[in-house]
Amino acid sequence: MQSTLGRSSSVFVGALTRKRLLLLIALGVVTWAALIALFGGSVALEAIASANGWWLLAALLVHYVSFGVRGLRWRRLLGMAGYRIGYGYATSLLVAGWFVSALLPARAGDLLRIGVLRLEDPRRAAVPVGVSLGSIVSERALDILAILSLGAGFGWSVLHAQAPNWVIVSYAAALALLLGLAVAILAAPPLLDWLRTWSQRSLWQKLLNFVQQVVGSLRLLARRPRIAGLVFVESLFIWLSDAVVLWFVIRSLGGDLPFAHAAFVALTGDVLAAAPITPGGVGQIDLAYVALFALTPMVGAAFNVGAAVLLVRFITYWSFLLFSGVVAALAGFGEAIRRLHSEELTPFTGVDPGASLAVHPSSDASS
């Protein structure tokens, strides 16, 4: 894992290049041009130009507030494992990780978060890789559970039993992933005990200690039902925010699509974007929105779909790309990435075989 982080740091440095940004912008321009042409050309542009700015401002605020809640949730998950970091630092690191993921496919920014937390810092205790990885996997599990709960509920109210197979398959795949994770967590302790008998070699035992640390971090939610309920409510707010953003954008265009319909489109789009193929899902998410709107009854809800998709993506991706890049720069994470690139991280020594987590003294750095 340490060598993986070391190699990934060079990828992060490469991600923050002008060439990559230009390629991403080019892909975005192609997507915008295709959507504008598909939905009436000048008609789509006029719809965007005449959109109600107050509704758009409300959508922007909701989206940005949701990231504040994401930072609070991640800080809470790390705190359960005994690592207290400041809210400002946790949120800014999460936003910086989103910036890297926006430039690279497959959620690469999560590795940045793990690597930065592992660096020694006089203001806070270094977080072991297993603990930070466990917190991020917990985030993903909570995200999938929240999206499935909300999306399936709104989807049933909109389409009832008439959802097409590709929508059903998308939800089934997400549910299977969540159930597989739950089974793995439950089966892990006896399985790890059995695997320990295979070999007493130091490297093998350290690997199992690392896996035990990750699993222990994941099992903390089951042991803390009150906190588990709280972070699940936070997860529901985070993903319901996507539905609110889309609904506000539709309202800005003069549309009166029922909230449940907008929520189905937004949340199913989130399911389809769970594994982004392109950096930031550029093009991928836009097309998913168009396909989902085609499924949604829109009688009496006249608005330009292309304009709605473009405005939503501007708020949730393009504006946030600029914002997250500024946050990453001002918070000093460029220097952290250079440290990851140039320094060899302290070797991971594992945890005591009898413990599921390694707890270090808490640190309450405020930023």
Q: Stretch 200-219: mean pLDDT, rounded?
A: 77
Q: How far apart are CA 97 and CA 12, in angstroms?
A: 10
Q: Give the pLDDT confidence of 68-81 residue by residue, as tens digits.
A: 999 999 999 999 88
* 159 or 236, greater pLDDT: 236
Q: Give the pLDDT confidence of 271-287 residue by residue, as tens digits.
A: 877 766 777 777 778 88
Q: How far apart are CA 71 and CA 66, in angstroms?
A: 9
Q: Is 145 helix (H, G, I), strand (E, B) or coil?
A: helix
Q: Give the pLDDT confidence of 108-144 residue by residue, as tens digits.
A: 788 888 888 888 777 778 888 888 888 898 898 888 8
Residue 111 token pair: 């590795």
Choose the weakest-confidence range: 60-64, 169-173, 199-203, 335-339: 335-339
Q: Stretch 342-367: mean pLDDT, rounded?
A: 40
* 272 or 7, greater pLDDT: 272
Q: Give the pLDDT confidence of 296-352 residue by residue, as tens digits.
A: 776 556 788 888 988 999 899 889 888 988 888 887 776 666 665 565 444 444 443
Q: What is the 3-state secondary structure (H, E, C) of 205-270?
A: HHHHHHHHHHHHHHHHHHHCHHHHHHHHHHHHHHHHHHHHHHHHHHHHCCCCCCHHHHHHHHHHHH
- Rounded to two decimals, what is the model's pTM? 0.77
Specify the DSSP class assigned to residue 279: G
Residues 6+ apart with CB under 8 A from 333: 92, 93, 96, 112, 116
Q: Give the pLDDT confidence of 14-47 residue by residue, as tens digits.
A: 445 566 666 667 766 777 677 777 777 788 888 8
- pLDDT confidence of residue 272: 76
Q: Stretch 234-254: mean pLDDT, rounded?
A: 95
- pLDDT confidence of residue 72: 96
Q: What percent of the chain has pLDDT over 90?
A: 19
Q: Is 2 helix (H, G, I), strand (E, B) or coil?
A: helix
Residue 20 token pair: 């990559």
Q: What percent of the chain has pLDDT over 70?
A: 77
Contact yes or no for 113/136 (Cβ under 8 A): yes
- pLDDT confidence of residue 342: 61
